[in-house]
Structure formats: C-alpha cells, structure tokens
Structure 1
Amino acid sequence: GVVEPPDFSSEWLEVFKAFTHLPKFGLATVKQPLETRPPMFATDRQQLGSPIPGDVAFRICAVRETFEESGILLVVPSEEANTLNTDINGDNDKSDNCVTQSALTALPDRWDKSLITKWRSLVIENSSNFIRMCKELECLPNIWALYEWGNWLTPSSGSVPQRRYDTAFYMCCLKDIPNTLQDQKEIEQYKWSTPPEILHSYRERKVWIAPPQLYDIGQMCNIPLLSDLHNFAKQRSVEGCERCLPVMLKATDCNISLLP
C-alpha cells in the first residue's frame, strides 16, 4: 500500500496517548547506526512537520492498507492496551522502554462483521477515516505486532517510464487464520499456504510472485515453525535492514533479475 498524509497526522497522538511518553511509542530501538539506515527509516519526520515517527507511521499505513485490501483488522482494543508488556530493552545499547509481545498475535473478535464492513468501505473512500474508526471503536493499530523485515526499491526499467516504490516490509505472525474480505481490485482470492507450497506453485507457473516476496518466502522456508519465525522476526527486527535494489539484465532469450 501507499503511505497517505493521515498516516502521519498529529491526531494519532490522541489514539496512542498511553504510549506517547515512550520513544517511538514503545517500538524497540533499532541497533543499526542511523547513517546506514535506509532513507525512508532515517528521515527525521519532525523536520517535515509530523510528530509521528516514521517507524510508527509506516506501520499505521501497513495496518490500514491490510484492512482496506483484505478486511483483516490488526488492532488492539484501548482497554487492553495496558496488558501489553512494557519492558526494559536490555539488548540494546540504550536501555529504552519498549512494548514487547512474546506470543503470536491474536486478533480481537468483539465487533460485528457488518460494522467492520461499513468502516472498511469508509476507510477505502478516505484514509483519514481510519483515525476516526480507531477513535470510535476505541482501538489502536497494533504497530508492535509488526516487525521490520526489509526495504526494497523498485528497479529502473531504463527508458520506459514506470512507477517506482520504496517499500517497507514487515513480518506479523498471527495465532489463528483470520477472516478475510476481498476488495476485488488488488486482491481477488485468498489461499493460505506454507512457504514451500507457494514456491512449488510458483515453479509450476500456477501463481506469479514479485521478486521481493519470492526472496522473502524463500527465506521463510528456512524456519518451518511459525513460533520460531515469530521469535526470529522479533530478534532480527532490532538489527535493522539494508535497502535492496534488484539489478535487471536483458539477455537474448530472457530477462534476469539479480537479487542480493
């Protein structure tokens, strides 16, 4: 999904008021030196006029876009916010308070499906309605369930103009298979499969997978248990990431994409 101005709105300060006293609203501090962080993460958003840290806003965007496209609402009821663990992040050079979630993420099941469907339509119509929804439903985007996984930049296609995206990827491991709603635009069908099954379908040419997702699914094949993947993503996220740029080569009989 694409970041929208409301993702950086100061109105989120009211929604996250229980966490605004924590650095980056309780997200774990990344050890990676600022000068080696990808530009999208290293940019000081306050200098651009937003009180919402980039690491928070990009996660808000990810939660919002997931809701718009799939109907999956990754939020925490405000009254349960105090159940999130706020611990000393002793693994970092700076001992900052941060919110930790050791278990797989559970989605709330307290709102009627028709209500969620109504709000989804409103959010699709105007992204600022996502803030309004969180206020009225008294919930917070579960930014702490999203672990930084990677950053990919769309390669240049040479002389042919095209849209290029600087994209953040996050890992979120859910306790149960969620209910979904297709938007019939970007998503037409859902199928829950294991990483090896997805790669098999790709090799059989039953599905097409973009290079970043193909690369990441291949990595996930090395960690077969979901609980282990969750723990790995949690530990890996504080190490930061590098921005990846596939290099495109045109051969006589095919196009080649060189990956890191």
Structure 2
Amino acid sequence: MKAGIRRTSASVILVAPNEGTSKDYKLLMLKRSDTTAVVLNQTVFPGGLLDEADESVAWLQYFEEFGVPQKELRRLVLISNDRPAILAPQGTGCYDRFFKNTIIWSREITLRLNAIRECFEEVGVLLCRSHEDLKDFGPVASLQNVPNLKSWQQRVHNKPSEFLTLCRELKVVPDLWGLHEWSAWTSPGFMRKGYETVFFMAFVNSQPNLLAEPSEVKETLWSTPIEFLRMTKLGEIWLLPPQIYELSRLMGVKTYTSLLDFAVKRSALGTTMFVPVTYECEGRMVFVLPGDDFYVPEPHLVREIISFPGTLEEFKSRSKQIHRYTSEGSVFNVELNFTPPNNHLKPLKFLQERQKL
C-alpha cells in the first residue's frame, strides 16, 4: 500500500481553574463546524495545520528586535537522540544555528507558533507576552486583549502571516514559554490521509472570553476530563482516539496546581511519537502503542491492518506488556499495564474512575 500523506499540525490543551474554586480545573475543547468535522459533533482541542508563515525567519528577527534573550529560546529546544521526527530540527545543520537568519528551524519553536496562532484563529484567545511579561518567563501563559478582535481573527484566519502583523501592532510576542510539550500522535498507517500532531499544554489564570470562528467552530466547551468522556459515552460529542487517550490520563490529576507542576517537569523529558499499529481480531479493531508486546520496531512502515487469527481475548492473553486501545461502540477502551513512556501519566479506565466518584 502506498505511504499515506501525513500533514504536520499542533494543538493546545488549554487549562483554566474552575470558576469559584481554587482546586479543580476545566479544559477547553471545541466542536468542529459541520463543514469541517469528520463526523457530526467532532470535538477537538484548539489547533490545526502548520503553515509556512509559522516557519518564517521574520519571527526570529522579531524575537530579536523585541528583546527576547536567545537563551530563553534555546531552553525550549530538547537535544536528544530519540526525538521524534516531527520535533527534530528541519533542514541541514545543527541546533546551534536556529536563532540565525537561516531556513534551519527548531520545531519546538515553529510548532508552538503554529499552536498559538491556531488558538487565536479558532477561539480568539491570544497567548502572548508583553515587554512587561518578559520580566518573568514563568510557566503560566499570558493572555492579551485584542482591540477589534473579530476583524483581526478573520485577517489571521484568511492569511496566517498576518499573525506576525498583529503581534507587531500590539507589541507582544507569542508566549512560547507558556506552552509545555505534552504528547505527539500520528494517524494510523492504513489511513491514506492523516496528521502528525504535537499536543502542548497551556495554563491560564482564568477562563478567557472566547470568540468562535464560525467557519471552523460550531461550539466551545469548558469541562473536566471525566465530563468530556461522559459526554462521549452519551453521544453528545465525538472524539478521536488521541483526545480520548489524553482525557483518560488527565482523569487521575484532580487539581490545577498539581497538573501545572507535573506538566512543567514532564515537558523536559521529551516525547515518544504514538504511531498506532492496527490489528483486526474477528471484526474488532485493536490499536497497539509503544511498549506493547504486539508493537513493531518500525511502526511508520505498517500501512495495512494486520489480521490476527483469533478473538480479542486470545490477542490479549498472548500479551504481557499491554499498551493499546480498542473500540466499544462510540467509546474507546484504553489499556496500559506498565510505566508510561517519558514518565507520563497512566490513562485510567472511564468506568473505574466513575465508581470512585
């Protein structure tokens, strides 16, 4: 089978304290418009495709003009031999050149620009820092008010390079330091077209006012991880596996502060690309992930669904290390029985967590 097309994208898991309490938190998700959704009520975190404007050298020049210290950009870059391709430096050369006038870019920066721009385009939230905010490169993202928000949102939506124009106009820079590397996913190999997506997590001090871009967004939703999963089970929203997986592992973190602390520390440990390898067991689909006994050394080369000669139960009985998800109607069941890669959170089963409440 011919290799499928994988388009590069980035998303933001935006976290805000629950109104009226200092303990728990809510996440922002949005329902895709009927013209852009894969199915009715498809619900996602804000995000979208990487644009050439996100990789413009003009951004690096602007950071320098604005007075952003090079060391603050460099500390966003993780140097490791096992970085996934989506987060590897682009072009030829080395990381040491990424702040110069060159086409060589650090993806840790361009994908953050991508995610911040898309968040503004889709819901009108501008995660940027002013000169005053640059006095402290803290982990909580800064929010900026935008005069003539609707007009600017449409300008950036229609022409992504206008995002730099907006930043110049408001005298702000995208808050790269408020985005914490969280995870990375690739669409299953049997899909002819798909995405490679990096998820970043960003924390704000309060829920910002939203302006949904009508051609892309039907509805915005603030809720808890377990409530989003409940809505999925009831058929009120429809989630793809990456969103279900991320919500499943967030169920175990109960407070805003503990999630912020975890996200900041974990982001320095890198990311393992989750490339699902798909098996069929008597009509049931199983998607195995890194570390599973049925995972393969080069998952990106697997372009077809692998047939397993047995039941789902037999497939599971032949595995000691389990890291996979299976479909049960409209809900995916996530299983992981060992320490997650990159010291990440272990996903919880929705029904088990409901019984604790």
TM-score with structure 2 length normalisation? 0.61
1:101-120 to 2 correspondence within 5 Å?
101-102=138-139, 104-109=140-145, 111-112=146-147, 115-120=148-153
Alignment partner of 1:56 is 2:109: yes
Runs of 4+ in 1 over 6 A off after TM superposition: none
Q: Which residue does 1:3 correspond to in 2?
A: 50
The structure richer in strand per residue is: 2
In the alignment, the residues of structure 1 paired with residue 272 and residue 199 of structure 2 have an alpha-carbon distance, to the nearest angstrom, of 12
Instruction: Check conservation: 1:106, 1:176, Cα contact below 8 A.
Output: no
1:157-176 to 2 correspondence within 5 Å?
157=190, 162-176=192-206
In the alignment, the residues of structure 2 paired with residue 186 and residue 249 of structure 1 have an alpha-carbon distance, to the nearest angstrom, of 33
Q: What RMSD over aligned residues (CA atoms) do the two structures have, in Å?
A: 2.1
Q: Which residue does 2:158 correspond to in 1?
A: 125
Alignment partner of 1:67 is 2:116: no
Q: Which residue does 2:84 correspond to in 1?
A: 38
Alignment partner of 1:12 is 2:59: yes
Q: Which residue does 1:84 correspond to in 2?
A: 136
Aligned-pair CA distance for 1:207 = 1.4
Instruction: Check conservation: 1:70, 1:180, Cα contact below 8 A.
Output: yes
Q: Which residue does 1:98 correspond to in 2?
A: none
Instruction: Check conservation: 1:74, 1:142, Cα contact below 8 A.
Output: yes
Aligned residues: 234
Greater Rg over alpha carbons, structure: 2
Query: Which residues of structure 1 form unaligned runs of 5+?
Result: 86-100
Return the match for 2:70 from 6, 21, 28. Answer: 21
The structure richer in helix per residue is: 1
TM-score with structure 1 length normalisation? 0.82
Instruction: Check conservation: 1:149, 1:233, Cα contact below 8 A.
Output: yes
Query: Which residues of structure 2 form unaligned runs of 5+?
Result: 1-47, 95-101, 290-322, 324-357
Aligned-pair CA distance for 1:7 = 0.7
Alignment partner of 1:153 is 2:183: no
In the alignment, the residues of structure 2 paired with residue 221 and residue 9 of structure 1 have an alpha-carbon distance, to the nearest angstrom, of 38
Q: Which residue does 1:228 correspond to in 2?
A: 258
Instruction: Check conservation: 2:123, 2:213, Cα contact below 8 A.
Output: yes
In the alignment, the residues of structure 2 paired with residue 45 and residue 54 of structure 1 have an alpha-carbon distance, to the nearest angstrom, of 11
Give percent identity, aligned residues only: 27
Q: Which residue does 1:91 correspond to in 2?
A: none
Q: Which residue does 1:139 correspond to in 2?
A: 172
Instruction: Check conservation: 2:187, 2:276, Cα contact below 8 A.
Output: yes
Instruction: Check conservation: 1:149, 1:169, Cα contact below 8 A.
Output: yes
